Amino acid sequence: MIEKTLKGKPAYWIWLAFLGMFMAVGVACYARQYLFGLGMTGMSRDVSWGLYISQFTFLVGVAAGGVMLVLPYYVHNYKVFGKITILGEFLAIGAITMCLLFIMADLGQPTRALNVVFHPTPHSMLFYDMIVLNGYLFLNILCGWVILTAERKQVHPPKWIYFFVYLSIPFAVSIHTVTAMLYCGLPGRHFWLSAIIAPRFLASAFAAGPALIIIACLILKRVANFDAGKEAMNKLVTIIMYAALLNTFFVFLEVFVGYYSNIPGHKHSIEYLFFGLEHHGHVYNNLVPFMWTSVVLNFGALGLFAWPYARKKNEFLLGLSCVMIFIALWIDKGLGFVFAGFVPNPLDEITEYIPTANELGITLGIWATGLFVVTLLYKIAVGVEHEIEE
Amino acid sequence: MDKQRRKFLKIAGVTALAGIGAPALVRLSSSNALASEHGAAEEHAAEAVHGAPVEAAPQGVRLGMVIDMRKITAQPELLDKAIAACVDVHNIPQFDNKKSEIKWLWKAPFENVFPGESSYHLAKNVEETDFAVLCNHCDDPPCVRACPTQATFKVKANGIVAMDFHRCIGCRFCMAACPYGARSFNWQDPRPYIKKYNKDFPSRMRGVVEKCNFCGERLALGQEPACVEACKGTGAIVFGDLNDAQSEIRQLLDKEFTIQRNPSLGTKPSVFYIV
């Protein structure tokens, strides 16, 4: 099936070349970082994780979001998702690829990465994260490939594959739960030390992942003559709405606990995110505009989703609301959540984090790589789909 | 295929797979100081402080420190001397920007060292004196729990939370986990920024985390920690086995009221302050 990636319209090649350009920039920036060290980034002693780990955290969610298609289709036999379930699985592959790249980019000694395997440490959450991330990647490659091959031959997939399909469902939940546990089990980081982090991560993941799939479907409809079907899209919108509402509710609960309890540790990071934190006469607020953008986009998207005309009749508005919710959740989790956890630091000092150009180059390069992988995989999936129709 | 060759290929394969062949084999210094933190020298370490073999204390040796801030308030230069000694002994690089800084032992105001304690109407002498800050060598260290490679670990024989710079992958999970901000990361090659090179202790490469090691390498040789030695005779920093009822540090703890940094987190810090 790989041969399907080798034939395409000019637009396909231009798109790949466009992504390839960013990938090349990413490689060049990474070479600089590799030679100099992570001092090339905006990270510091106080904000010791930056864009790489925050993107990783967000993209684990995008990968887990694929399960919102797998679960209804395979467990509840919801036939409408038949055509797009593969898109969910392939999106997960691209997202996990990005996650692994972001982790590698973040390591101070990347050549020692396999120490995690050579010295397995069951009391470290990163050990489990390695297992579930790689496991989920493997499961999605296996299930996606076997089922698509069967579809191409127009036969039923082999029975044994269903074991792995069902296994991938708890794995999807586990990747984001374990990623939440990287944060929520750390004493002394009040913003992260909250039992609602894992559910909140899952809720935002189940909105962000499907939102990206709708966007992909709308694009594929125009450029590849691939129609996911009205009913499937509608159901996805319902899923996104509930998930985004739950996420909003969870964030509100965090704000309530912080402000009503009035415990400084619980309040400071939230204050830093939304209003800026005053410290020795200086107000630290570089994330405030981002967070309010997130809030506006979040409620704006929810409003659009709630409007039947926008979600059912007007594909532009549907796409727009999906882009809005995706960006809102990306800011919330892909920026704010990680950075604010370091403010203030354990010594009650404030250091703000601003990524460097080199760091942005690597970040964009990895995003481009993920999109590149997803493009190739979607090309295969859509190609097979067309082949059957003929 | 003969056995030798198969064995060689196996090793070569694993090494290539890991991609770590060369860098892991390069030793940074002729010193075996760090290695001594793992192995046989642990006994000596305990002996050095203890004056007797390890078996005496029922719960094992747990090294700790009492910092008498009354003494440091009277002679603030003591702390500077201690910091300078620490920097010299451990090849700690001196950067002039906050972003890259590496700190093992440093000073900070009371309100920063004890953010949970009320600093409203603080006693003048406490407000005006900088406190000594260093790794607490917790009895239940969150950094050790978080490390995915056991590159940071608790030395069983004496309770020191130590680092293996050669195993650290630089994920900085320990830095996020430490509730005391005691850990630093080498954002770039530190060697050009080492003022005076001490060949008895390894310098670090970029991309690894480091922190105070309670001078495990000096204890192994029967010496006191550098900061303790720098304040010798003043009683500003007292070091010893917290589990030995006869030790100087225990007698001081029995007599004086001390505080620890954020004990509510359950980490059981081994550094105590007399305010």
CA torsion through residues B85, B90, B96, B99, sign: negative
| Helical residues (DSSP H) of chain A, grouped into ranges | 10-36, 51-65, 67-70, 85-106, 115-118, 125-153, 160-184, 197-223, 230-261, 264-274, 288-306, 308, 315-331, 338-340, 357-389
Domain count, chain A: 1
Q: Using CB atoms within 10 Å of the CB of residue B40, give its burial: 0 to 12 exposed, 13 to 18 middle, 19+ buried.
A: exposed
Q: Which pLDDT value is given to residue B2?
A: 56
Q: Using CB atoms within 10 Å of the CB of residue A6, give its burial: 0 to 12 exposed, 13 to 18 middle, 19+ buried.
A: exposed
Write the CB contacts of A166 (distance below 8 Å, at least 6 apart in sequence). A74, A75
Are A375 and A141 a contacting pair, CB within 8 Å? no
Backbone angles phi, psi at B150, to 5 degrees: 60, 30
Residues of A whose CB is below 8 A from B190 = none
Mean pLDDT, each 10-residue run in order, chain A (390 residues): 84 95 97 95 94 96 92 90 90 96 95 94 94 95 92 91 93 94 93 95 95 94 88 92 95 94 91 91 92 96 91 90 96 94 92 95 97 95 86
Q: Using CB atoms within 10 Å of the CB of residue A37, give its burial: 0 to 12 exposed, 13 to 18 middle, 19+ buried.
A: buried
Q: Which pLDDT value is given to residue B127?
A: 87
Task: Answer whether B180 sits within 8 Å of A346, measured CB to CB.
Answer: yes
CATH of the domain at B70: 3.30.70.20
Q: Which pLDDT value is given to residue B8?
A: 53
The distance of Cα A83 from the centroid of its chain, to the nearest Å, equals 22
Is A124 part of the contact surface with chain B (CB cutoff 8 Å)? yes
Question: Which residue in chain A has the smallest CA separation from B266?
Answer: A187
Is A45 part of the contact surface with chain B (CB cutoff 8 Å)? yes
Helix (H, G, I), strand (E, B) or coil at A312: helix
Q: Which pLDDT value is given to residue B31?
A: 36
Q: Please write the tens of the pLDDT for every residue from B218-230.
A: 999 999 999 999 9
Task: Answer whether B98 sits within 8 Å of A109, measured CB to CB.
Answer: no
Q: Which pLDDT value is given to residue A41?
A: 95
Average pLDDT of span B54-79: 83
C-alpha closest to that of A84 among A61, A98, A66 = A66
Which of 49-108 (B) contact A at CB < 8 A?
A: 98-103, 108
Task: Answer whether B187 sits within 8 Å of A115, measured CB to CB.
Answer: no
The distance of Cα A174 from the centroid of its chain, to the nearest Å, equals 14
Which residue among A44, A106, A347 places its CB closest to the CB of B108? A347
Query: Has residue B136 been placed in a domain?
Result: yes
Task: Answer whether A126 sits within 8 Å of B208, measured CB to CB.
Answer: no
Query: Has residue B84 been placed in a domain?
Result: yes
Q: Which pLDDT value is given to residue B30?
A: 34
The token pair at A318 is 């549907």
Q: From CA B141, how far away is CA B157, in angstroms rounded?
A: 16
Which residue among A108, A186, A189 places its CB closest to the CB of B170? A108
The per-residue DSSP string of A338-374 comes to HHHTTSS-TTS--------HHHHHHHHHHHHHHHHHH
Interface A:B, Cβ pairs < 8 A: 157
- Paired with B203 in beta bridges are none
CA–CA–CA angle A47, A49, A51 (5° rounding): 110
Radius of gyration of chain B (CA): 20
pLDDT > 70? residue B234: yes
Q: From CA B189, how far away is CA A211, in angstroms rounded?
A: 43
Percent of chain B, pLDDT > 90? 70
Task: Answer whether A37 sits within 8 Å of B187, measured CB to CB.
Answer: yes
Residues of A whose CB is below 8 A from B133 = 347
Binned at pLDDT 50, 70 and 90, residue B180 comes out as: very high
Query: Has residue B175 been placed in a domain?
Result: yes
Task: Answer whether A121 sits within 8 Å of B267, measured CB to CB.
Answer: no
Which of 343-382 (A) contact B at CB < 8 A?
A: 344-349, 351
Question: Which residue in chain B has the smallest CA separation from A349?
Answer: B112
Task: Answer whether B112 sits within 8 Å of A349, measured CB to CB.
Answer: yes
Which residue among B20, B167, B207 places its CB closest to the CB of A119? B167
Question: Which residue in chain B has the smallest CA separation from A114?
Answer: B18
Q: Could you say which DSSP state residue A71 is in? A: I
Residues of A whose CB is below 8 A from B148 = 115-116, 121, 124, 126-127, 130
Residues of A whose CB is below 8 A from B189 = 37
| Helical residues (DSSP H) of B75-165, grouped into ranges | 77-89, 110-113, 124-128, 142-146
Question: Which residue in chain B has the smallest CA separation from A123?
Answer: B145
The token pair at A119 is 């010295």
Ranking A227-231, A363-367, B157-161, B244-248 by mean pLDDT, the lowest is A227-231
Residue A63: Cβ within 10 Å count: 30
CATH of the domain at A147: 1.20.1630.10
Q: Which of B99, B150, B171 to mutate to test the interface with A (most CBs of A within 10 A)?
A: B171
Distance from CA of A42 to the nearest CA of B (A): 8
Distance from CA of B245 to the nearest CA of A (A): 30
Query: Has residue B36 been placed in a domain?
Result: no
- Domain enclosing residue A140, as ranges: 2-389
Is B262 part of the contact surface with chain A (CB cutoff 8 Å)? yes
Are A122 and A178 a contacting pair, CB within 8 Å? no
pLDDT > 50? residue B47: no
Is A280 part of the contact surface with chain B (CB cutoff 8 Å)? no
- Domain enclosing residue B227, as ranges: 64-274
Q: Which of B11, B15, B169 to mutate to test the interface with A (most CBs of A within 10 A)?
A: B169
pTM (predicted TM-score): 0.88
Is A193 part of the contact surface with chain B (CB cutoff 8 Å)? no
Domain count, chain B: 1
Q: Which pLDDT value is given to residue B10?
A: 55
Are B198 and B217 a contacting pair, CB within 8 Å? no
Question: Which residue in chain A has the smallest CA separation from B267?
Answer: A187
Which residue has 């546990």 as its token pair?
A: A181
